[in-house]
Amino acid sequence: QQSANTKPSKRVHFAPPPRLASRHSYPFDWSLEPAVWYSREELTALKEDRFNEADILRRERGISTSSRDDADNIADGKEKEIWVGDTMTHALDDRDEGSISVRGIEHFVWPVLQKEMVSRKNELKRFVIEYSKDKHSRTSDPNGENLAKACAARSRWARDVASERGIKYCQMKRGAGRGGGLLKNTKMIMERRKLETGRRSLVRRESLIKASRRMNSLNGDAEEA
């Protein structure tokens, strides 16, 4: 019999030998390790090479922003959405025909995209951490279905960008035309909408002027009669 101050002991049950996972040994010549894996120094050198290539690609495309911090002065709202969408269009619409490929380092060549990616990633991380600390959320959602739906909604942008980028590369490889769902947020289309709105306002104004002149003419004829 245990005393009131001692905690009950926990028992660990092991599966019988036939149910244990089997282990297999494979010989490996560790002297061949450099031919199988990259060393830390090689990975660092590859990373620096891509940074340098991104800098060259930015200069070729006339991109003045050199880091994601350059987008800090953009206020959240419609202006930021249009700018990010316009940058996304340039990234997706890039022909990638030079000696240095932009594929895989778009977020380095267009730092605004990197900032948007990091911002959305931090938002998702913050949500998951807050969810894990909320006991009510965990108990009311034991299977994590609500968490999965919320995370899917917050990571949809990244999935759409990856899908759109893959589609664009396939289209360019086949020599097909340009286009895509993410292009609807560009400045060009926003400006086109403004022009269409202004044109409708002008037509409406001209119609009102003609109607006013017609009324004045009718009133003048009535007075003469």
Split at pLDDT 50, 70, 90, the class of 185 is very low
CA distance 91 to 83: 12
**How many residues are there in the chain?**
225
Split at pLDDT 50, 70, 90, the class of 72 is low
For residue 180, the model assigns a pLDDT of: 44
The predicted model scores a pTM of: 0.52
For residue 112, the model assigns a pLDDT of: 78
For residue 62, the model assigns a pLDDT of: 81
For residue 208, the model assigns a pLDDT of: 80
Torsional class of 104: left (φ above 0), alpha (ψ -120 to 50), beta (otherwise): left
For residue 122, the model assigns a pLDDT of: 92
* DSSP category for residue 181: G
For residue 81, the model assigns a pLDDT of: 64
Q: For the segment 119-156, what is each residue's pLDDT rounded down to a tens digit?
A: 889 999 999 999 989 888 888 888 889 999 999 999 98
- Alpha-carbon torsion (157, 162, 165, 166), positive or negative: negative
Split at pLDDT 50, 70, 90, the class of 179 is very low
Q: What integer best gives the mean pLDDT of the chain? A: 75
Q: What angle do CA 74, 79, 81 make, to 5 degrees?
A: 95
Split at pLDDT 50, 70, 90, the class of 178 is very low
